[in-house]
Amino acid sequence: MRGKSILLIIGGGIAAYKALELVRRLAERGVGTRAILTQAGAQFVTPLSVSALTGEKTFGDLFSLTDEAQMGHIQLSRSADLVVVAPATADLMAKMAGGLANDLASTALLATNKPVLMAPAMNVRMWESAAVKRNRAVLEKDGVLFVGPNDGEMACGEFGPGRMAEPLEILAAIEQALAVQGPLKGVKALVTAGPTREPVDPVRFLANHSSGRQGYAIAQALASAGAQTTLISGPVGLAPPDGVKLQRVTTAREMLAACEAALPADVMVMAAAVADWRPDIAANSKIKKSTDRVVPLIKLVENPDILASIATGAQRPRLLIGFAAETDDVVANAVAKRARKGVDWIIANDVSGDVMGGERNRVHLISEAGVEDWPEMTKIEVGTRLAARIAEKLGAA
């Protein structure tokens, strides 16, 4: 979801306090939020508290001389990727179902050309009334999405359906709504990330400095663009990306087996830093230091070449992308690697500094068309830009 934007309409109900938590959760995921606070909603939360969390002006006046001078309700309703109404009161549902536009919230809902997600919140008797049922049916027919309401105790003391969905439930519905609208809808993506660890004995292993950040950022960007994304990850200390199926592995052989099992896929991005060698035999118990200080001899054997195996396999993806982490002659080595491995694209980067554990990266996209030199940016931005290029490529294919 990172990089997406939400227009949040906060209706008048005690559940309005949950909207503040929703904004905070969205911010944690890099989603920008602008808010319309209805006059009734302002009885429960203040414009100041909403603005403090969104970092934006909170809107509420349809007849603002400054905002409406530039058709603010039109811009608000169309500048976001998704419109979320939480809480969606019976009044707001009725206005949208009937096409009424007598305040900023209802006008924005009528003017929007973006998907709308409603999180209803009202008394159980209201929710079960014929009028609200009728309005919901009209809205669903018009394509409006719903999350909740849940069963539970109401502020009025009654029990039943009508409680607004919890912020994390609404967040999950937002993720699903955004993914459905993404340019990679219907695309199956497979990403590898992180290092592999090759055991020497039960306490020692061969590995590298890969943090997995770049691969995780790519998986998140692909999922946010609508792709059904599987992430096969070596041992890292990162939280699973939203909306991504995560499979954890340890060794290179485990990663190859997981990749083969996850195929077929439309696109595969192999960002993992796979160990080239492993000990021929891993000891079953800890190798002890000898009294005569003789260093034990560890024989290394070559690990399977996962990228080359996928490139020549029967289930090669439509678009196969590898990574080249280099310390010298970055572009030249990556160009040679692309030809040697037989892949479509190679993403090359210089890892001679702290790139493997850092937040930023500077990469070169190498394809049949040549070399694209991308400026230094965050790894999240690299993931977003790569997802956009993938969508462009698959769309043209």
The CATH fold of domain 188-396: Rossmann fold (3.40.50)
Question: How confident is the model at residue 385, as a pLDDT?
Answer: 92
What are the structure tokens assigned to 140, written together? 């669903």
State the distance between the two ends of the chain, measured CA to CA, in whole angstroms.
25
Question: How confident is the model at residue 66, as a pLDDT?
Answer: 57
Question: How confident is the model at residue 371, as a pLDDT?
Answer: 96
Question: How confident is the model at residue 4, as a pLDDT?
Answer: 83
156 is catalytic: yes
Contact 155, 14 (CB under 8 A): yes
Residue with tokens 């956009």: 388
**Residue environment code for 183-192, b if the CB has 16+ CB neighbours within 10 A, otherwise e:** ebeebbbbbb
The CATH fold of domain 5-180: Rossmann fold (3.40.50)
What are the structure tokens assigned to 374, written together? 């991308």
pTM: 0.65
In sequence order, the β-bridge partners of residue 366 are 346, 371
What are the structure tokens assigned to 236, written together? 């890292």
- Spatial CB neighbours of 35, under 8 Å, sequence gap ≥ 6: 7, 8, 9, 10, 19, 23, 50, 51, 54, 56, 58, 59
Q: Given a cut of 60, is residue 240 above it in pLDDT?
A: yes
Question: How confident is the model at residue 1, as a pLDDT?
Answer: 64
Question: How confident is the model at residue 61, as a pLDDT?
Answer: 83
Question: How confident is the model at residue 273, as a pLDDT?
Answer: 95
Across the range 135-142, mean pLDDT stands at: 92
Across the range 275-285, mean pLDDT stands at: 94
Percent above pLDDT 70 for the chain: 93
Encode pLDDT of 290-330 as tens digits.
Answer: 767 677 889 999 999 999 999 999 999 999 999 999 889 99
Determine the angle formed by the axes of helices 167-180 and 16-28, rounding to 10 degrees.
60
Question: How confident is the model at residue 396, as a pLDDT?
Answer: 59
Catalytic residue among 155, 156, 300, 332: 156
Across the range 160-172, mean pLDDT stands at: 86
**Segments making up each domain of the chain, as ranges:** 5-180, 188-396
Least confident of 34-48, 71-85, 329-343, 367-381: 71-85
Percent above pLDDT 90 for the chain: 64
Contact 33, 56 (CB under 8 A): yes
Q: Given a cut of 80, is residue 369 above it in pLDDT?
A: yes
Domains 5-180 and 188-396 belong to one CATH topology: yes
Mean pLDDT for the chain overall? 90
Q: Given a cut of 90, is residue 201 above it in pLDDT?
A: yes
